[in-house]
Amino acid sequence: MLKVNELRISYGDFKAVKGVSFEVERGEVVGLLGPNGAGKSSIMKAIMGLVEFEGEVKLMGKEIDFEAKNYIGYVPEEPLLIENLTPAEFFEFLASIRGKGAEKAVKLSKIFELEKYATQPIITLSMGNRKKVSVIAALMHEPDFLILDEPMNGLDARSSRILKDFMREHVERGAILFSTHVMEIAEKLCDRVIVINKGEIVAEGSVEELKEMAKMESLEDVFLKLTSEEGISFA
């Protein structure tokens, strides 16, 4: 469904992503794991066309242009919102651009208990409620592909549980690429994980495959070893 080939991203002289290649198939939840600064967010921004890059990024066999973004729901690590609008106005604006999603946004606002803040300017909302706005904006048009960058950050336990349930339901018809620092979430949700360190893929496979190759009992132990200075050998 998503194909990333030889992706390279630089910020000035700093090489943030160094020739990363991977695919995400329909029906998969793929986790991008890595320490701070590993390149996870840069990869997601490149897929969305938010940063310049070299290499190839395709969704369903086509380059990702404005039209293709209608098939993507994106939750950035830091919410990208029009802060002078209210949540209701922001959702209405998005629905007018996409041509759908207005009714779904109302339903999701109730589910995530955001409706009481619907007429309050986004700039006045707490971090958690701003994150809910970002999540609803990504889900309201029922996209095929979700890109979720640390989606649980800032959400309360109830909202995190709701989002996880949505993710499980979503993969029945689409696919998800998401990043998280919480290994327990990755272990429970991911069909496959890609571990990034210093802009490069250092391991890829199912959670069980990585634990077996590394001869370790938890994904957290595998992750810490993979991203340590000495690295790890699967020989």
Strands 2-11 and 54-59: antiparallel
The pLDDT assigned to 223 comes to 82
Q: Could you tell me how many helices (H) and strands (E) the chain has, helices first? A: 8, 10
**C-alpha R_g of the chain:** 18
The pLDDT assigned to 91 comes to 97
Please state, in angstroms and rounded to a whole number, the distance separating the CA atoms of residues 209 and 203: 10
Q: Percent of the chain scored above 90 by pLDDT?
A: 73
Contacts of 141 (CB under 8 A, 6+ apart): 70, 73, 94, 95, 98, 100, 101, 104
Structural domains counted in the chain: 1
Single-letter amino acid code for the residue at 83: E
pLDDT in tens, 20-35: 999 999 999 999 999 9
Strands 2-11 and 192-197: unpaired
Instruction: Give residue 65's pLDDT band: very low, low, confident or very high (50, 70, 90).
Output: confident
The pLDDT assigned to 21 comes to 97
**Adjacency order of strands within the sheet including 200-205:** 72-75, 145-149, 175-179, 29-33, 192-197, 200-205
Q: What is the CATH number of the domain that holds 174?
A: 3.40.50.300
Question: Could you list the residue range(s) of the whole structural domain that residue 25 is in?
Answer: 2-226
- Mean predicted lDDT score pLDDT of the chain: 91
The predicted model gives 140-152 an average pLDDT of 95
Is residue 54 situated within a structural domain?
Answer: yes
Is residue 232 situated within a structural domain?
Answer: no
Q: Cα-flanking dihedrals φ and ψ of residue 24, to 5°? A: -125, 120
pLDDT in tens, 156-168: 999 999 999 999 9
The pLDDT assigned to 229 comes to 52
pLDDT in tens, 96-111: 999 999 999 999 999 9
Is residue 48 situated within a structural domain?
Answer: yes
Is residue 233 situated within a structural domain?
Answer: no
Three-state secondary structure call for residue 194: strand
The pLDDT assigned to 214 comes to 76
92 pLDDT exceeds 60?
yes
pLDDT in tens, 168-226: 999 999 999 999 888 888 888 999 999 999 999 998 999 888 888 777 778 888 888 88
The pLDDT assigned to 181 comes to 83
Is residue 13 situated within a structural domain?
Answer: yes
Contacts of 30 (CB under 8 A, 6+ apart): 22, 24, 175, 176, 177, 178, 190, 191, 192, 193, 194
The pLDDT assigned to 146 comes to 97
Is residue 32 situated within a structural domain?
Answer: yes
Is residue 234 situated within a structural domain?
Answer: no
